[in-house]
Structures are given as C-alpha cells and as structure tokens.
C-alpha cells in the first residue's frame, strides 16, 4: 500500500473557504474508488490485517487492568472483539451462505460500539477510539458485501471521529492521498503523541486534525448527497478484483489493481493544478454525466483542472453526428440500379467519416447516459481490442461479403468472427485503404486532426460489439441509439451488402432474445429492436419472417423486460395466441407500476400502453365465461388500485384502453364497481369526454353509464364530483355528443346530461334537460333503431329508481315494496333482486325520484304520449320498462294538479291494463295495480267505470297479493257493479319442460325468480321461465337421495331443501351460482319443511316436528303425534296428523291447541291429514275429504265452515289453492288434477298430466306439477 509519488502535488488549499462549495461527481467518484481500492488491498493482505488487529487488542489488555467495570461495558467490548473476529472468519469462509451470515453477524456486533457517545469512556478506553475502530471495520464488512457507497461512507465517518488514529494506525497512505496538505504536520504530531502514550487514547487532537475532520465531513456529506441523487441507479465503481472474498462466484470487476491505482480527487481550491506528476503508469480518469449538467454549471471552473482538458470535449456527441449523417444521407440516396450495385463498404466508411464535428470519444463510456458510471480503462481497452478483430478489414470485408441472406441465417456468431478474420487476410489488395483507415484511427486521439476516422471507428465498434455474443451483456443506452441510427442509414441505401448487414444485425438481436439465458442480453436485444422498430415499423414484418416467436417475447416479459410488451403487441397476435401465454399477472404488474418508463419514440406505444391494449383484448375478445376468468385475475383491490393510479397521469391512447378494462371490471362484480366508483379519479374520463377523439368519447360515455348503475346515494355523490371537476364544459361536450353521434351514444350522453342538470335544477326550465329528455323519449317511441330503443327504455325506467352494487336495476323491487308485496314466496317470484340488500332501503332514492319525476312531468304531454307508445311496443323489455317508468312517475303525478293527473290517466291507463291479466309476470301485475291506483284518483276515477270484466276479474285474483288490487276491485264494483260474476274454468297449458334422466320431480318452489325442482336422484335443477319456454340455469347434485321438499329462509334470503338422505341443506346464490353453504343433520328422512324467521321446522317418518333454531340446536314439538304435514302462518304451526287431528302450536311460547279432534280408532287408517294449505285467513286440510274454515272460527267452534267430498275411495295426496279454484291430486287417479271452485265447492273440471303426479305448486294464478317421468307442466286459467 505505497503512496503515489504524485501525492505531494495534490496539496489542498484552505478548507474553510471551500467547505460549502459544490463537489462534482468525478471528485466523489475518485474518493469512493480510492477508499475501495485501499480496503480491497487490506482485505487481500492478511499480514496488514493482523497488524491492525493486534493494535486493537492492546487496548483490551489495558481494559483488563481495570478490575471493576459494569456488565454493559463488558458487553460493548465483547461485541467489538467478536465483530472483528467474525470478519476474519468471513474472509476465510468458502460457503457463500455462511459468509453472508458471518458478515451480517459482524455488522450487528460492530454497530453496538459504533453507537457510543464519542466523548465518553468504556472500561477505561476512550469511546472515540472504539467508535473509530468500529466504523473502520464496518467499512471492511461493506466491502465484503460489495456495497461501495457504504464502504466510503463508513471510512469517512471513521476519519471524522478520529483523523489522527486513521492516518497513523489504519490508512496513512490513503489519508496522505485524500488529505495531502494536512498529513505531513499531522504525522509529526501523531509521532510525538505515540511516543508519549501515557493514556489509553494517546492521539491529541490538533488544529490539523480538525481541518481533516472538516474535509472528511464535506466528502461524507457530498457522497451522501449523490447517493440520494443516484437512487435507483446501479453505479459500477471500477475497483480491484476480489477473487478471495467476493460474495459472488465471479467478480463483476473488469480490471486489476495493476491497471489503475489512483483516481482524480477534486480539489477544494480550483486554482491549484493537479494534472501532472502522476506518473506514466498511473493515469487519472474523469467522467462527465449529462444528468448532472445543471449542477456542474455552478462549478464549471472545477472541471478545468482534470487530467484531460474537458473543455475540448464538444457538446455534440457521437449520437448527434450519426443523426446528422442520417439526415444528410436522405438527400444523398442513390436511385439508379447501377448506382446501387456499385455501392460498397467504402462508401459507408466515407459517409460516416464525412459528417459531424470531432470530439474525443475514445476516453468516454456512456458519458451522456447516467444509467451506469464510467467504465474502467481496461474495459475500454478490451472493448477496442474486441472490435479490432473487425477493424482492419471492416470496410473491404463488407464490400466483398458474398454471403446471401439465407446463408447468413445458418451462421453462428463465432463463425462470423472467424469469417471476418479470414476476410482480413484475404483482402490484402485493399491494404492501402486499410492503412489509411488505421492511420486515421491512430491520430484520432488528437481531436483537431481526424474526426472522420474517429467517427468511423465508433460506427465500426458499435456493429462489431453487437455481432459478438458477449457484447450485448455490456450494452449501454448510447449503443442502442447508435445501432438504431446505423440500421436506419443502411435502410436508406440499396444493395445486397447493406441488406446482408441489416440481416446480420437483426439475426444477432433475435439470437439474443431467443437463445440467451442472461436477462441483460435479452433486455439489450429487445431494447435495440424496439428502437429500430420505432424508426421503421416494417422491421416487425422482417423479424416475423425471420422467426421471432411470441413465446420468446412472452418469456422476456415474464422476466420483467417491459419493452417486450411493445414488440409483443406489434406482432399483432390473435386473442387465442395471447391467451395461451397466461400473461395477465405479468401485465397487471407492469400496469400497476405507474412510473413505468415510456417508449423512446412516440411512433410506438409505451410498455404501459401495450400492456393495457393486450389486457383489453383478453377481457373483451372471448365468450362471457372466458372474459370473466380473465377479469377475475385483475379485479383484486391491489390491481385496481394500480390501474386507478395509472388513470391519474396517462395519455389518451392508454386512457382509452384503461377505461375499457375498467368498464369490464365494473360489469364483472359489485365489489369492483364499488371500489372503482369510490376511488376512480373523474378528471381523466372528463378529459376523454372533452377530447377530439371519437372513440375516446364513446368509451367515456360507456364508463359513466356503467358508473351510474349503483345505489342512488352513491350515484349522487359521483355526480357531484363530476360537476365540480367538469362544470359547464362537460354539459357542452355532452350536447355536442347528442348532436353528432349515433342514436345509442346520443342516449348515453342524454342520460348523463339529464342526471347532471337535475342535480341542482329541478323546477326551472333548462335547455339541457329538455334536449336530454327529448332524445330519450324519441328513442323510446321509435322502433327504427331497436338497440337505441331498448337502451333508452332501460335508462328512463331507472332514472327515478336505484341499482344494486352488482349493477342490477332494483327500481322494480323498490316499487314492489311500496306496493306492500310482503310474502317471501311471492317476492321470490321476481328475478334478480336480493330482498335483504340495503340498497332497497337507500334513503336518497325517494328524494331523487321526486326531484327527477317533477322535472320530467314539467315538460308536458309529450312525455305521456311517448310512454304510451312504448307501452304498446312489440318488444317485451321496452313495454315492461315503460310500465316501470309510468309507475315511479305516478308518485309525483298524485301530487300534481288535477288537469295533469287526468291527462296522464287518459293517455296511459289503457296501455297499463294489459299487464293485469293472468299470464303476465307477478311484478308486472303489481306495477299495473300501482299505476292504476296512483293515476285513477280524482277525475281519473271515472276511468274505473270503463274497466272490462276481464280487468275486474284480474284485480279480484290479485287481491290476495296486494291490498291495492283489492281496493281497486271494491271501487270498480261500487261505481258500476256487475249483476252476475262469471268465472272462467278453462285452463290452458303454458309450459312443459324437464329431463328424464334424474327421475321423478318430487318438489317445486320459486327462488330468486327461478323455478327450482328437486328430483328423486338427489339433484336440484333451476329453470328460467320465460313465457312458454324454460332454460336450465343450474344443475347441482349434493343430496345422496331424493329431494322431497323445499322452503325459504327469509332473513338470510336462502333456500333450504330436505331429502331422504337425512339432511337439510341451505342454499344461496354465490357469484351467480347456486351454492350449498350449510348442511344440517336431521337423523331421519325429511318429508316436509317450513320456516319462521331463522327457525326451521321439519317433519320426518317419526313422531313430532323437529325444530332447529338459529344455532341449529334441535328440539321436538308434538312428540305424541305422528305428523304428516304442516303449515306455518301468523307465528303458529298447524300440524296435520296421522290420526286426522290438527294441532296448533305457538312458536313464541310453545302453547298447543287442538283445533280438530282425531277420528275414531276404526277409521284412523283411512283418513290421515295429507295436506294443509293456508290462503288469506283460511286454513284448508285434506284427507279423504277437504275441509276449510276461517282460522278464528275454527279455533272458536272447533269445526270447519266448509267441507267437500272427493270421489269414492279417493284420498287427497296434494292440494293447491288460488283465488277461485282448489286443485286436488287424488289417488288412485294420481295422473290428474281435479279443479274445484273455492267458493261453491263445485267440481268444474280436470287436468291430465300424462303420468303420475309427484309434486304440486300454485303461484301467480298458475298451477304447476311435477311428474314421475321428470316433466314439469303448467296451466293457467283464462
């Protein structure tokens, strides 16, 4: 570790005058490299290490003389001693894992003494000594861990703590080099101090030590500053090789200490010249980093004293000269065939040499790009030597290169190098020209003489480096631009040689992408190819022909080579090809990185844009199920959060794809809709809406349309945010959309415009509102554009209502609740509504409905006429949506003036009547009742006079469903009573569906608007009934034996099924599938089920009724009776028993009462109660006879009010009751259903099912039955 002879020339000026002066990165770099080289040599020299260690050990000898000291002091000394010992063990250790563990342990131990107070004493040793030694040894730890920054920081901290100790005991030569003006005096003082070592810390601080400390502090502070500024970069400090102790098997350094020992250290005094006196074997090296150009302007005079005259380096780099050459080459292109054939490599050489100003580039490495710092001298020499294989014969070898394109494809890079060397020997006739080239190259170190040769050398070097397999592993961003420019120049020239050279470049890049296993090679190859494609997109077709595989790009993308996404997208793969690579997790990771770098050229999409576009294909190009699988991978909160961050700062192209993806996520599930609507920034989508891009406006309108499909209170919150950020500009943009776009997008724009205008203005006239309502009503009334008509009808039907978080319209559910439809069995006949959802209780819905209804009604009669046309539409969904609109407008019509109310009644009521009749959906019949009730008040009551007999009959049949129907029927009879009431007994079959492979249909029930059927093989099938057709929605099989019964659990909105396998299963719709969420053991085969609240009642083959509470604990009621059937109503259980008695039990207090006594013993076996049904306030029981009575009367008189006898020897097996009829399935004729009038107890007909009937269900005036052949049939009375 001998000091350089030039150290004396580096005497520093006054420190005090320069403490605050900025140091450039070159100076800091010199310090880091010098310290690292010193520490490296120390680690490599065991003798020196042991000497320093022994000096530290003498202090422990002093400490042992103190007989008494505290345990904490012993702990500090122990950590210090064993920390040093662990470092020595780590240096000797061969196993990398053990080495890392020892270093970590040493670092933890040395940090204990390093944190001591410098001014204290521990076990008789000055803390300053312990702290200084600890930081010095921590620098060794960091060197072994290959952290060059921290090596220098810890060493400077040790100097800062005790300059004298470091410069006399640890690193005198290094201190002399770093602080030359102070070391001479300090050395003398230290020598005197050592001779008078009467204390445990003999080094007395002098003024010179304080000066060195201040200098060390400046170095440390600026080193920390640049460490922060270069955060995220990976500087490659070119220090000595470390074969003995490196943490990696192969050292990353590229030269040895013999190559370079001293680096330039920037002086504090810019007037002092340190350029000379370093010796020929020790060359000072400097670096220029463009990223810090703005900082170096303030210290420009400091750069003038470096070894090379930096002012001679011209601002225009080799990249600029290549671009200049490219621009000039475009005006100098050969166009004739003859000229193309005469073009040679010497022309390329001449062209390269004729452009650009000269600057000294042979001493620079990536000077204009801060991604990596200055490479070493040896590395530069090796690179030049590598390129020299091609240098001597470069031009002439290209000229005479007669490899065809197809021949070259079969050559390896090694063969090509050999070929170039052979060409160098074979073309001696071009020696004069080559000699001239070398002569120009030799004088290129003199910048004023031959810039042409130097620039040609740079071009030659870039291509030759590319053609070597190891060259890509050392690639720099400068070379990306150089090769791209060279390729573009070659593209401007015609001729076989240029084509072959272009093919060489592409082939080498493809080889790097497809065959390399090193990330850096793959990254460099893709970076260069992307840059070439940015300048010339036709290159994509060329590489496709050459065999570039999507799988290679997908593999690179999974290695986090983000630019691979750009090439992957430009390859234009099919959706099926994209799907096979399973890229979504990788794409999501890139998309969630909002600071992902952009592509170098605006002509290509950025990696972020490419990822968004590929993801857009994956979530839109397939069938619904496949798209949903892909959406499930990106709908997690983490991914959505990343996507929403992207939306805050992105370009229009990215935002379009992003909006498309978000729309799909919103449609996929309610949680995504909730997350996006609450956290998505509105401004980016407003920017889409206000852009001049038509497609951008389309996707913005779709985004806001789906974003508005959520609970009303949340919709109002979103509208307020949109109003704050967009104001009138949004309204004007929406007006332009209405004027310019197709009908579907006009409707979307009108919807958003109407919402925004209604938010603050519902009473005054508004141009925006009138225009929006006109567009919506025009589309509803017009059948020319079917899509626009259905969309506008859907939108206007939910303007005054609400949605669920899944996007399902809940306006009908909200209206039906207002019509007092309370029975869970009736509610479950309505599709797509979860009755326990809090959205139905949204307090903001009523207020908003009143507000927007008032604003629409104020427009006048055109609203009613358009809705009347919509009610008569042949498209079922349009007429249904118009009925919903009329229903919620009715709440405000009631408050309107009499004239408005009567006019609306005159125009709309005739269209509403059609929805009352049997055969219509239950919710449609209820909404029709609601409309008539609201509109036919006041003068509108006269319309009831003109009700037909069929309308009155329909109202009478609905009286058991809603009190409004009963009231309307009473008023109609009062205004104009009919002399006689006729009941049509004709029944028409409307449905026949089923499967034969599952056995008999043993149970039927409606759940969530779907018909559920239980089969004898244990399966449950769910059917979607539409008119006279049915579609199988779900088919599940969880029960092991026949499913015998169903019931509904109202609080949990669940379905329960009982089976002969002795279990009860609880079902719910989860993610749009019927899922079993609970299994209850019944211990006996289950025959019948019923519920009350969370309690479940089951009858089995045994005695009594088994009751399961909310905790699923079981108990028995009616233990003494053999219960055959039961009904639960008004908090009571009515049980039909085998002895023909009927028992009543109170659910709340378990009080029992017998309301029908048992028969005599000898008649017992013939008349067990087989069915019990409640209808309104009546209870009906069936055995061999059917009896019925009002519940109160039956309790009071203990006998029925009515009784009817079926045929001789017939016994009722199943029974169903509606308003006018009783339906009985009796044995032995079990394939027929007998029809009886409920009022007069007369038999009026029969229905044949074709086979034995095994289940019966009545709902919405429809009678359904299941048969033993697996068929489900349904009839309706006319």
Which tokens sit at 727?
């104001």
Where does residue 1146 fall: left (phi above 0), alpha (psi -120 to 50 degrees), or beta otherwise?
beta
Give the CA distances from residue 68 to residues 58, 59, 658, in Å, rounded to whole numbers and listed in that order: 19, 16, 72
Among 547-561, 853-867, 947-961, the least confident range: 947-961
Give the residue with greater pLDDT, 222 vs 1068. 1068
Please work out, in degrees rounded to the nearest 5, the angle formed at the alpha carbon of residue 218 by the alpha carbons of 213 and 222. Answer: 145
Supply the pLDDT for residue 262.
Answer: 37
Average pLDDT, the chain: 76
| pLDDT of 451 over the 70 cut | no
Supply the pLDDT for residue 76.
Answer: 84
Using the CB atoms, write b or e for 158-185: b if 16+ within 10 Å: bbbbbbbbbbbbbbbbbbbbbbbbbbee
Which tokens sit at 400?
């005479």
CB of 1169 closer than 8 Å to CB of 1159: no
Cα 611 from Cα 589, distance rounded (Å)? 10
Q: What average pLDDT does this structure show over 638-648?
A: 84
Supply the pLDDT for residue 249.
Answer: 38
Supply the pLDDT for residue 116.
Answer: 87
Give the residue with greater pLDDT, 455 vs 545. 545
Which tokens sit at 337?
């065939």
Share of the chain above pLDDT 70, in %: 72
Supply the pLDDT for residue 66.
Answer: 52
Token pair 């199943």 is found at: 1214
Among 76-85, 237-246, 1105-1114, the least confident range: 237-246
In tens, the pLDDT along 266-305 reads 333 333 333 333 333 333 333 333 333 433 343 343 333 3
List strands edge to edge, sheet with 987-994: 987-994, 1271-1277, 1262-1267, 1253-1259
Q: Collapsing DSSP states into helix, strand and coil, what is residue 127?
A: helix
Q: What average pLDDT does this structure show over 929-957?
A: 79
Supply the pLDDT for residue 232.
Answer: 56
Supply the pLDDT for residue 464.
Answer: 60
In tens, the pLDDT along 970-1015 reads 887 776 666 456 777 889 999 999 888 889 999 999 999 999 999 9
Supply the pLDDT for residue 301.
Answer: 37
Burial class (CB in 10 A: 0-12, 13-18, 19+), 1107: buried
CB of 1241 closer than 8 Å to CB of 1230: no
| pLDDT of 21 over the 60 cut | no
| pLDDT of 256 over the 60 cut | no
Name, in order, each residue with C-beta under 8 angstroms of 1265's C-beta and a sequence gap of 6 or more: 1004, 1225, 1233, 1249, 1253, 1255, 1256, 1257, 1272, 1273, 1274
| pLDDT of 93 over the 70 cut | yes
Using the CB atoms, write b or e for 937-972: b if 16+ within 10 Å: beebeebbeebeeebbbbbbbbbbbbebbbebbeeb
| pLDDT of 15 over the 50 cut | no
Supply the pLDDT for residue 466.
Answer: 62
Q: Is the pTM here over 0.95, yes or no? A: no
Among 201-215, 355-369, 906-920, the least confident range: 355-369
Cα 1048 from Cα 1089, distance rounded (Å)? 9
| pLDDT of 1119 over the 90 cut | no
In tens, the pLDDT along 789-837 reads 999 999 999 999 999 999 999 999 999 998 888 888 889 999 888 888 8
Supply the pLDDT for residue 924.
Answer: 93
Give the residue with greater pLDDT, 1110 vs 482. 1110
Among 112-126, 384-398, 1198-1212, the least confident range: 384-398
Q: What average pLDDT does this structure show over 216-237?
A: 71
In tens, the pLDDT along 1046-1068 reads 999 977 689 999 999 999 999 99
In tens, the pLDDT along 714-741 reads 999 999 988 887 666 888 899 999 999 9
Q: What average pLDDT does this structure show over 927-951?
A: 79
Supply the pLDDT for residue 1066.
Answer: 95
Cα 194 from Cα 327, distance rounded (Å)? 71
| pLDDT of 615 over the 90 cut | yes
SS3 sequence of 384-440: HHHHHHHHCCHHHHHHCCCCCHHHHHCCCHHHHHHHHHHHHHHCHHHHHHHHHHHHH
Using the CB atoms, write b or e for 1008-1045: b if 16+ within 10 Å: bbbbbbbbbbbbbbbbebeeeebeebbebebbeebbbb
């Amino acid at each position: 570790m001998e000091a350089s002879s030039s150290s004396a020339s580096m005497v520093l000026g006054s420190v005090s005058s320069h403490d605050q002066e900025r140091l450039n990165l070159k100076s800091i770099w010199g310090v880091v490299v010098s310290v690292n080289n010193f520490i490296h040599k120390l680690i490599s020299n065991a003798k020196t290490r042991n000497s320093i260690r022994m000096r530290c050990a003498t202090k422990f000898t002093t400490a042992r003389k103190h007989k008494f000291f505290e345990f904490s002091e012993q702990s500090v000394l122990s950590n210090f001693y064993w920390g040093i010992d662990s470092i020595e063990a780590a240096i000797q250790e061969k196993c990398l894992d053990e080495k890392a563990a020892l270093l970590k342990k040493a670092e933890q131990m040395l940090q204990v003494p390093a944190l001591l107070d410098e001014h204290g004493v521990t076990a008789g040793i000055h803390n300053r000594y312990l702290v200084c030694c600890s930081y010095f040894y921590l620098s060794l730890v960091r060197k072994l861990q290959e952290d060059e920054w921290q090596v220098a920081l810890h060493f400077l901290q040790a100097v800062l703590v005790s300059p004298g100790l470091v410069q006399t005991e640890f690193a005198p030569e290094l201190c002399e080099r770093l602080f030359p003006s102070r070391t001479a005096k300090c050395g003398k003082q230290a020598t005197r101090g050592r001779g008078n070592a009467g204390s445990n810390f003999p080094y007395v601080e002098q003024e010179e030590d304080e000066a060195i400390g201040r200098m060390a502090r400046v170095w440390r502070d600026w080193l920390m500053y640049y460490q922060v500024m270069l955060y995220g970069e990976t500087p490659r400090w070119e220090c000595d090789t470390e074969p003995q102790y490196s943490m990696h098997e192969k050292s990353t350094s590229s030269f040895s200490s013999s190559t370079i020992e001293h680096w330039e250290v920037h002086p504090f005094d810019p007037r002092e010249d340190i350029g000379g006196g370093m010796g020929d074997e020790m060359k000072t090296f400097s670096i220029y980093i463009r990223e810090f150009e703005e900082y170096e302007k303030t210290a420009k005079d400091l750069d003038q004293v470096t070894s090379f005259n930096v002012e001679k380096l011209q601002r225009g780099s080799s990249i600029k000269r290549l671009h200049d050459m490219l621009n000039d080459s475009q005006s100098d292109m050969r166009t004739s065939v003859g000229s193309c054939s005469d073009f040679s490599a010497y022309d390329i050489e001449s062209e390269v040499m004729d452009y650009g100003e000269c600057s000294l580039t042979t001493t620079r490495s990536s000077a204009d790009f801060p991604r990596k710092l200055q490479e070493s001298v040896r590395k530069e020499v090796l690179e030049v030597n590598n390129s020299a294989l091609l240098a001597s014969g470069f031009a002439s070898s290209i000229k005479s290169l007669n490899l065809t394109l197809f021949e070259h494809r079969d050559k390896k890079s090694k063969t090509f190098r050999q070929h170039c060397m052979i060409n160098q020997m074979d073309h001696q006739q071009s020696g004069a020209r080559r000699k001239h080239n070398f002569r120009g190259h030799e004088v290129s170190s003199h910048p004023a003489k031959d810039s042409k040769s130097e620039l040609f050398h740079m071009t030659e070097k870039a291509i030759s480096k590319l053609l070597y397999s190891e060259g890509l592993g050392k690639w720099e961003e400068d070379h990306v631009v150089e090769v791209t420019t060279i390729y573009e120049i070659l593209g401007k020239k015609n001729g076989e040689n240029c084509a072959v050279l272009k093919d060489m470049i592409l082939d080498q890049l493809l080889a790097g992408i497809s065959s390399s296993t090193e990330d850096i090679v793959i990254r460099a190859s893709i970076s260069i190819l992307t840059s070439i494609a940015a300048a010339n997109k036709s290159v994509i077709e060329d590489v496709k022909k050459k065999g570039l595989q999507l799988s290679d790009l997908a593999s690179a993308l999974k290695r986090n080579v983000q630019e691979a996404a750009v090439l992957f997208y430009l390859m234009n793969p099919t959706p099926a090809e994209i799907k096979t690579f399973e890229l979504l997790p990788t794409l999501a990771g890139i998309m969630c990185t909002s600071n992902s770098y952009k592509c170098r050229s605006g002509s290509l999409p950025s990696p972020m844009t490419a990822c968004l576009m590929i993801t857009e294909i994956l979530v839109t190009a397939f069938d619904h199920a496949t798209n949903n699988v892909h959406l499930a991978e990106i709908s997690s909160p983490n991914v959505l959060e990343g996507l929403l961050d992207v939306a805050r700062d992105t370009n229009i192209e990215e935002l379009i794809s992003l909006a498309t993806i978000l729309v799909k996520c919103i449609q996929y599930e309610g949680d995504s809709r909730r997350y996006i609507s609450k956290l998505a920034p509105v401004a980016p989508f407003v920017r889409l809406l206000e852009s001049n891009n038509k497609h951008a406006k389309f996707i913005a309108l779709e985004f806001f349309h789906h974003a508005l499909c959520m609970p009303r209170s949340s919709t109002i919150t979103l509208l307020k945010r949109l109003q704050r950020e967009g104001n009138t500009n949004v309204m004007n943009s929406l007006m332009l959309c209405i004027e310019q776009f197709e009908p579907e997008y006009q409707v979307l724009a009108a919807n958003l415009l109407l919402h925004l205008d209604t938010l603050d203005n519902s009473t005054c006239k508004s141009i925006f509102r009138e225009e929006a309502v006109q567009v919506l009503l025009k589309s509803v009334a017009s059948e020319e554009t079917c899509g626009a008509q259905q969309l506008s009808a859907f939108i206007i039907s939910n303007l005054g209502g609400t949605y669920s978080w899944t996007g399902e319209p809940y306006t009908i559910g909200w209206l039906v609740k207002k019509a007092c439809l309370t029975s869970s069995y009736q509610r479950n006949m309505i599709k797509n509504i979860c009755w326990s959802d809090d959205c139905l209780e949204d307090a903001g819905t009523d207020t908003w409905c009143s507000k927007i209804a008032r604003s629409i009604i104020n427009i006048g009669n055109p609203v009613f006429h358009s809705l009347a046309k919509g009610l008569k539409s042949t498209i079922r969904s349009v007429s249904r949506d118009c009925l919903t609109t009329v229903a919620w407008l009715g709440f405000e019509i009631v408050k309107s003036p009499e004239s408005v109310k009567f006019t609306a009644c005159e125009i709309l009521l005739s269209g509403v009547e059609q929805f009352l009749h049997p055969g219509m959906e239950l919710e449609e019949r209820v909404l029709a009742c609601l409309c008539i009730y609201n509109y036919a008040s006041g003068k509108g009551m006269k319309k009831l006079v003109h009700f037909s007999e069929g309308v009155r009959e329909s109202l009478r049949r609905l009286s058991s469903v809603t009190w409004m129907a009963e009231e309307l029927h009473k008023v109609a009879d009062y205004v104009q009573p009919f002399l006689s009431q006729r009941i049509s007994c004709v029944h028409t079959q409307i449905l026949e569906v089923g499967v034969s492979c599952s056995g008999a249909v043993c149970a039927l029930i409606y759940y969530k608007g779907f018909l559920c059927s239980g089969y004898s093989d244990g399966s449950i099938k769910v059917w979607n009934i539409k008119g006279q057709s049915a579609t199988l929605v779900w088919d599940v099989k969880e029960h092991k034996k026949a499913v015998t019964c169903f019931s509904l659990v109202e609080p949990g909105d669940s379905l329960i099924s009982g089976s002969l396998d002795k279990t009860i299963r609880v079902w719910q719709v989860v993610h749009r599938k019927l899922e079993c969420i609970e299994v209850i053991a019944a211990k006996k085969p289950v025959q019948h089920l019923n519920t009350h609240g969370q309690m479940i009642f089951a009858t089995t083959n045994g005695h009594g009724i088994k009751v399961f509470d909310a905790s699923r604990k079981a108990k028995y009621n009616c233990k003494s009776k053999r219960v055959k059937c039961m009904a639960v109503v008004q908090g009571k259980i009515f049980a039909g028993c085998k002895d023909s008695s009927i028992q009543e039990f109170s659910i709340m207090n378990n009080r029992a009462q017998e309301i029908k006594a048992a028969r005599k013993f000898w008649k017992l076996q013939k008349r067990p109660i087989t069915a019990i049904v409640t209808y309104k306030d009546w209870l009906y029981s069936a055995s061999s006879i059917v009896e019925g009575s009002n519940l109160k009367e039956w309790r009071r008189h203990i006998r029925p009010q009515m009784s009817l006898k079926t045929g001789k020897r017939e016994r009722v097996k199943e029974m169903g009751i509606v308003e006018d009829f009783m339906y009985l399935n009796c044995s032995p004729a079990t394939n027929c259903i007998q029809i009886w009038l409920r009022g007069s107890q007369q038999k009026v007909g029969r229905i044949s099912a074709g086979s034995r009937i095994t289940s019966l269900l009545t709902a919405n005036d429809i009678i359904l039955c299941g048969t033993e052949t697996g068929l489900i049939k349904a009839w309706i009375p006319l």
